[in-house]
């Protein structure tokens, strides 16, 4: 059985220990992850992980651990994941999935020049490209993109377009996108944070 499938069976089969898992996950996140994925790393291109589906977190960490995915942003994920046990990965996934993304103090300025036009155009492109088929239905184990950092989204999309990162459909989908399409979709997805009740992020 593939490592990812083993981890998913393990994760789903241990729901009774979810409280303890969350506590261990919180401790590991604080010491190993928060510097990039929490408020301390707000200005980096590392993604916001809070609120992601546990299946996606497990899939990503297993891929980093076994070298199937390379960290092309902070260059540290492969080394960090290599030191995680199956229990560690499960506990981190449980913790991260249970956190509110609004805990990361990301600011969006909807009054900046061109925001509204780019947001509307990005929504149209997102819908016409049927991105929600994977990114809003988690049986595909695709990440949640709503409210994600603009810097991360822009970098990840470019990496998929040129083949530095691979996923079914992505390179083919992005092949015809213009730089304006990229900017508009990034503005739309990151701007959707404004639809959340994220305090003074509005």
Per-residue pLDDT of 23-60, as tens digits, reads: 899 999 999 999 999 999 999 999 999 999 899 999 99
Domain 115-197, CATH number (from 3.40.1180.10, 3.10.290.10, 1.20.1440.130, 1.10.760.10): 1.10.760.10
Longest dimension (CA), the chain: 51
Summarised one tens digit per residue, pLDDT across range 97-111 is 999 999 999 999 999
- CATH topology match: 3-103 vs 115-197: yes
Which one, of 107, 133, 126, lies nearest residue 183 by Cα?
126
Q: 3-103: what fold?
A: Cytochrome Bc1 Complex; Chain D, domain 2 (1.10.760)
Tens of pLDDT, residue by residue over 162-172, are 888 888 789 88
Which of 84, 64, 81, 105 lies closest to 24 in space, CA to CA?
A: 84
**Structural domain boundaries in the chain:** 3-103, 115-197
What pLDDT shows up at residue 136? Answer: 85
């Amino acid at each position: 059985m593939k490592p990812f499938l083993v981890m998913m069976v393990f994760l789903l089969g241990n729901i009774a220990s979810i409280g303890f898992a969350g506590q261990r996950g919180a401790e590991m996140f604080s010491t190993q992850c928060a510097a990039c994925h929490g408020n301390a790393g707000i200005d980096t291109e590392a993604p916001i992980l809070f609120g992601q589906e546990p299946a996606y977190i497990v899939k990503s960490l297993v891929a980093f651990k076994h070298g199937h995915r390379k960290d092309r942003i902070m260059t540290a994920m492969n080394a960090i994941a290599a030191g995680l046990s199956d229990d560690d990965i499960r506990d981190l996934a449980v913790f991260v999935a249970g956190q509110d993304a609004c805990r990361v103090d990301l600011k969006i300025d909807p009054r900046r020049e061109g925001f509204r036009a780019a947001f509307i155009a990005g929504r149209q492109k997102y819908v016409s490209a049927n991105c929600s088929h994977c990114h809003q239905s988690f049986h595909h184990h695709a990440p949640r993109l709503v409210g994600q950092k603009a810097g991360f989204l822009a970098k990840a999309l470019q990496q998929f377009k040129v083949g530095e990162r691979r996923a079914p459909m992505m390179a083919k989908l992005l092949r015809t996108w213009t730089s304006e399409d990229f900017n508009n979709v990034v503005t739309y997805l990151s701007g959707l944070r404004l639809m959340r009740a994220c305090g003074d992020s509005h």
